[in-house]
Structure 1
Amino acid sequence: MASIGEAHGFFTRISARHMALFVDEGDTLVLSFDRADRTWHQGDSGLPLGFDCLRALEYSLLSILSVGRTWFRDAFVEEMLQNLAQEGFFSSYKEVLILASGPDCGHAAARAARFVPGAKVLLSRPAAAISARHAPFETRFTADRRTDPDTPLPLGPEALRHAASTMILFDPIHTLEAAQAALFTAPNTTRIALPHSGAALDRTFTKGEVIVPLSRHLQSGTLTPQKAREILRPSLRRDPGYLARLSTNAAYSARAATVARNSRP
């Protein structure tokens, strides 16, 4: 990433646990939030979310990466985004797409929308909030509440009021995930339910065969729930975790149907 940034834009350490890669290519910019450890697990081929759009669609890319689950709670990250906004960096592009996958990256990406008015946003399984005050139902990230990633305000759902459109992908079968999705109530927000997808949705979302057509339709304004499902389902159906959940659900439904039949007078 350092060599790519040096040749086509920049790659910089923002702070001890955050870095940024910028590649200047076209007049549409992808602003993505991703985990550096996710890319490292892929070895030399590992590149941040949105890089496939750069190669296939000739979009520019600004990727903010965290080392571990930091929730991007860092004054230097906030300062960088604010400075870029004030300098007219985001407004210099014809369009800006904001992409993120997972609770922490989605949380940060939604909050960042306040720096990019008019952006088109696509988030997979984001957390709107994790504090006891704003999300008392959330039990997955209680240890992370010590860093208070929900401050400073605004929270993501409020920041997204500045977005042109927002798409939220989530699994409605997962109670906490569905509750988080329900908090995203800004105008022009569309929630797209993908039952039993779970963590497989994040794995699928980051693949080039998925993120490229999703981004293309997001940019053109043609990304509907039906179109998103058409793009995601073929890849989901090749994910072992997703198939396992479908099989478990099918077996449970079959048992329930048998019990119901046998319970009839």
Structure 2
Amino acid sequence: MNTGVQTGVEIESDLTDMEAQDWLDAVDEIAEELGYFEPLGPDHSAAFIDAGPKLIVCFETIQHIRRGNRAEEPFGWRFARKHGWSSLTILADGDTFFRHRAVYGYFDRLVDDGFFEDFDQVLFVGAHSGAYGAAAYSVAAPGAHVLAIRPWATLDPAVTGWDKRHKELRRTSFTDRYGFAPDMIDAAEKAWVIHDPDQVQDAMHAALFTRPNVTSLRTPRLGWKIDREMDAMGIFEPVIDQAMEGTLNVHSFAKLYRARQRRLPYLRATLTKLEEQNQPLRAAKWCRAILRENNRPHFGRKIEEMIGKGVITPEFMMELQEPAE
């Protein structure tokens, strides 16, 4: 195991525009050159990049990687390049929630070999079903940090029968080993759960992770593509950096999250929320504030629409344009 401090490792890859099997073969080849690649049963595999003394463990579906980032490569590889972190990626073909005995056995072997003990710090990361995986398997590395983005706690219908998503997995066991994700993070030093409280079912899952070592980070009106939106804002990497160092908190996240004010999907979602709440005056103020900062024709048209419907007056908008004394 390479535990020397490095500034970055070279990973020469172009994984774009490949057929599915060619893509997986390319990941296999790159990982074998810099660490190892290991199939785990029919639908999972592990790709390890041996670099530096910090380890990022990512749980991702192949489909999410290939449609979710331009490089079409495992998320942890960018940190291997940038910081020289070692990277362990657990890949799933589809939303399996990483529930397979071959995955259990793999983590059992890592524990038996003292694999995680060779690193100064370990961070488990995942989004959506990957967040479940990151939380569930973090128990294999006591003292690790966990960043779970929009996590599921379990798909056991006895616990989360109110969630009707992923019905095809309801027969999958979530009651045996590495099962209930909120219990599995008890051994983590620190954990963060990022979720949109406006997404009711996501918020209910997030509430199940309430633990003394867990910090809840809320991203209202960001929807269900939180990881992609954070990446588009340019704040995903700083969040990961802080999670690895253990410095991420509500205040530091809120400071980074101000970047949402430049994202059109967030701006539109906030306007929609105000309209649904029947708050036309606040909606008009929101549109005017956006137009002061950026040329966003959509919000100008919304003002004209509200005036046309008579829910606000031209005089009200004139008052908003006057500078405060």
What TM-score, normalized to structure 2? Answer: 0.73
Gaps (5+ residues) in structure 1? none
Alignment check: 8 A CA contact 1:33 1:49 kept: no
Q: 8 Å contact 2:35–2:50 — kept in the other structure? A: yes
Q: Which amino acid aligns with 1:8?
A: L
Q: Is the 8 A contact 1:107 1:156 kept in 2?
A: yes
Call closer, same or farther: CA 1:57–1:181 in 2, change over 3 Å.
same
Partner of 2:104: 78
- Residue 162 of structure 2 corresponds to which residue in structure 1? 137
Structure 2 Cα separation of the partners of residues 96 and 249 of structure 1: 39
SS of equivalent residue, structure 2 residue 220: coil
Q: How far 1:32 sits from its partner (Å)?
A: 0.9
Question: Structure 2 CA distance, aligned partners of 1:237 and 1:138?
Answer: 32
Deviation, 1:233, is 4.4
Q: 1:219 aligned to 2:219?
A: no
Residue 226 of structure 1 and its aligned partner are, at CA, apart by: 2.3
- 2:276 corresponds, among 233, 252, 256, to 252
Distance 2:274 2:81 in 1: 39
CA contact 2:239–2:253 (8 Å) conserved in 1 = yes
Give 3-state SS (helix, strand or coil) of 1:62's partner. strand
Instruction: State the Cα deviation string for residues 115-141 of structure 1 (Å, max 9, x = none).
Output: 110000111000011212121322223
Does the 8 Å CA contact 1:194/1:229 hold for their aligned counterparts? no
| 1:52 corresponds to 2:78 | yes
2:44 to 18, 31, 34: 18
Query: Residue 187 of structure 1: SS of its match in structure 2?
Result: coil
- Aligned partners of 2:132 and 2:152 also within 8 Å: yes
Q: In structure 2, do the counterparts of structure 1 residues 156 and 96 end up closer, same or farther at CA, with 3 Å as the change threshold?
A: same
Higher radius of gyration, 1 or 2: 2
Does 2:103 correspond to 1:64?
Answer: no
Q: What is the one-letter code of the residue matched to 1:77?
A: V
Deviation digits for residues 235-254 of structure 1, max 9, x if unmatched? 684363x3432221132245
CA distance in structure 1 between the aligned counterparts of 2:138 and 2:103, rounded to whole angstroms: 14
Q: In structure 2, how many angstroms separate the alpha carbons of the residues matched to 1:236 and 1:33?
A: 29
Contact 1:52–1:212, Cα closer than 8 Å, also in 2: no
Alignment length, in residue pairs? 257
Q: Is the 8 A contact 2:198 2:221 kept in 1?
A: yes
CA change 1:44–1:192 in 2 (3 A) is: closer
Q: CA deviation at 1:51?
A: 2.0
Q: RMSD over aligned Cα, in angstroms?
A: 2.4
1:52–1:208: 8 Å Cα contact kept in structure 2? no
Q: How big is the shift at 1:145?
A: 0.8
Q: CA 1:141–1:43 in 2, change beyond 3 Å: closer, same or farther?
A: closer
Q: CA deviation at 1:232?
A: 4.0
Q: 1:204 to 1:11 in 2, by over 3 A?
A: farther
Scaled by the length of structure 1, what TM-score is found?
0.88
Cα distance in 2 for residues equivalent to 1:251 and 1:208: 25
Distance 1:112 1:39, change over 3 A: same
Shift of 1:208: 9.8
Aligned-residue offset at 1:219: 2.2
**Deviation digits for residues 186-232 of structure 1, max 9, x if unmatched?**
32111111111112313134569433211221122210122223334
